[in-house]
Amino acid sequence: MAALEVRIPNIGGFQDVGVIDVLVKPGDAVKVDDPLVTLESDKATMDVPSPAAGTVREVRVQVGSRVSEGSLVVILEAAEAAPARAAAPPQPAASRSPAPAPPAAPPVTAPAAPAALPPTGAAAQAPPLASPPSPASLATGASPPAAGKAGPDRRVLHASPSVRRFARELGVDLSQVAGSGPRGRILREDVQGFVKQVMSGTAAVGAGGGAGLDLLPWPRIDFARFGPVEARPLSRIRKIAGANLARNWVMIPHVTQFEEADVTELESFRTRLNGENGGPGVKVTLLAFLVKACVAALKRFPELNASLDGDSLVLKRYFHIGFAADTPNGLVVPVVREADRKGVVEIARELAELAARAREGKLAAADLQGGSFSISSLGGIGGTAFTPIINAPEVAILGVSRTSTRPVWDGGQFAPRLMLPLSLSYDHRVVDGALAARFTTHLARLLADPWRMVL
Ligand code: CAO
């Protein structure tokens, strides 16, 4: 037995490709061309085949490792009877053939880019983790889970790229499918059987543990049958933000508490301030006051300036306030740091500067990280109320709609008051309804009487 180092062969110039499946473990016997690990770039999923028959001595990668050409994957005790050859190029899903691989080393002129997966494939949308500008999720430094990765508490899924692709096309979550192949490998037939069971209503999808959403596959419709259409690719920000919004919406039990704040005095003060000769030098916006008021309310109710971490609640002693900014490429949430230590004018200056850089696509990753609470203001555009989606792992977000002057009963008569609609979405696992109502009531009181903010 001779030790043979199996390295990543030519993978068409891809760098730092993620390992999404490790198919062997020390002691396993492998034949030539048996798949050892599965890689997934943003273009394709590919198996790295064994260049020789033998026994696996060591596995040098794990699910989540990033590899490039030449990275060491496995050390093999190659069987003497079967001389090793250079590792074959990985086999993209679309080009894999059931026919046995040729005995000689294939040329290293592998296709430059393996066949692309359909854009609906979750993996095709798994974003790189560290490239600005980053979307909503990165505001808190959280990275979206890469599709197909097995976390430490999840079973490792053994399935070939073609089966993974097949499952994606059908919208099947492979973690729900029992594999009938060797070492529990999931076969095409297993996926077909699973779909049949779901369609007939007999599959135990997510049964017992409650895991899995038991959703139907996404409808695939040829819209052109109904009229002219135009396909417009989603921007990178929109794809990443979309994946994060979807996760946050399904994983967090949202409730939205609505409130109205009388901002008559605040708006008259703000208008006076902005109109003064030698004024603040920057337009002091309502949003700047909202940031300040939220900080004061969060100090009073710290459970809303927190994150869930397993069985504990992490209460943050810092006040970094994110705000949703609409950009030509989609939604981003830059963060005003240490808002508790800044005055309203300084906050207004920072909001303007961050919003301008957001629109130009010039935010750095650091501008989007570390938020402890977010505000989404649509007041400049319109609307009376909405349900903002919480920016995980934060536990609450304040939505702000358009002010309107309305008659308000002051106990003796109706008076015209400028009312600001507030919509606080909160994570009901952390915040009870009563707490949310206390928070929004307090916030409304602060906005109605801005002097209270400085107390
Ligand atoms: N009610 C009425 N008018 C309001 C208002 C409110 N609540 N908030 C702002 N306005 C008015 C301002 O008075 C200003 O009017 P003038 O131009 O006449 O002075 C105008 O709207 C613009 O307001 P502003 O300069 O204060 O800016 P802003 O704070 O409203 O917006 C920003 C800044 C970055 C929040 C905004 O550009 C933006 O991106 N908004 C969209 C956020 C978003 O998409 N949220 C949804 C996320 S979920 O999909």
CATH number at residue 169: 4.10.320.10
Residues 188 and 313 in one domain: no
Task: Using the predicted structure, report yes or no on whether residue 27 has a pLDDT greater than 70.
Answer: yes
Ligand 1 center–CA 164 separation, angstroms: 44
Residues 247 and 264 occupy one common structural domain: no
Kindly state whether residues 262 and 385 are assigned to the same domain: yes
Q: What is the CATH number of the domain that holds 334?
A: 3.30.559.10
Question: 59 with 130, same domain?
Answer: no
Residue of 158, 320, 428, 442 marked active site = 428
Residue 180 included in any domain: yes
**Pair (69, 135) in one structural domain:** no
320 as an active site residue: the answer is no
Contact between 3 and 77 (Cβ < 8 Å): yes
pLDDT tens digits along 57-80? 999 999 889 999 999 999 999 886
pLDDT digits (tens, 9 = 90+) for 393-452: 999 999 999 999 999 999 999 999 999 999 999 999 999 999 999 999 999 999 999 888
User: Is residue 150 one of the residues assigned to a domain?
Assistant: no
Ligand 1 contact, 331 CB (< 6 A): yes
* Full domain range(s) for residue 71: 2-87
In a domain, 103, yes or no: no
User: For residue 159, is it within any domain?
Assistant: yes
Residue 251 CA, ligand 1 centroid: distance in Å: 29
| Closest Cα to atom 12 of ligand 1 | 380
Are residues 392 and 296 part of one domain? yes
Per the structure, the count of domains in the chain is 3
Ligand 1 touching residue 419 (CB < 6 A)? no
Long-range contacts of 292-296 (CB under 8 A, 24+ apart): 292/339, 292/344, 292/347, 292/453, 293/443, 293/446, 293/447, 293/450, 293/453, 294/321, 294/339, 294/373, 294/375, 294/398, 294/443, 295/319, 295/321, 295/339, 295/340, 296/446, 296/452, 296/453, 296/455
pLDDT digits (tens, 9 = 90+) for 114-128: 222 222 222 222 222
Q: Evaluate whether 164 touches 186 at the Cβ level (below 8 Å).
A: no
The 10s digit of each residue's pLDDT in 89-122 is 555 433 333 333 333 333 222 222 222 222 222 2
Q: Is the shortest distance between the CB of 372 and ligand 1 below 6 Å?
A: no
Whether 377 is in the pocket of ligand 1, judged by its Cβ within 6 Å, is yes
- pLDDT category of residue 149 using cuts at 50, 70 and 90: very low
- Looking at ligand 1, which residue's alpha carbon is closest to its atom 28? 380
Together in a domain, 9 and 49: yes
Same domain, 122 and 60: no
Q: Whose CA is nearest to atom 26 of ligand 1?
A: 285
pTM over 0.95: no
In a domain, 100, yes or no: no
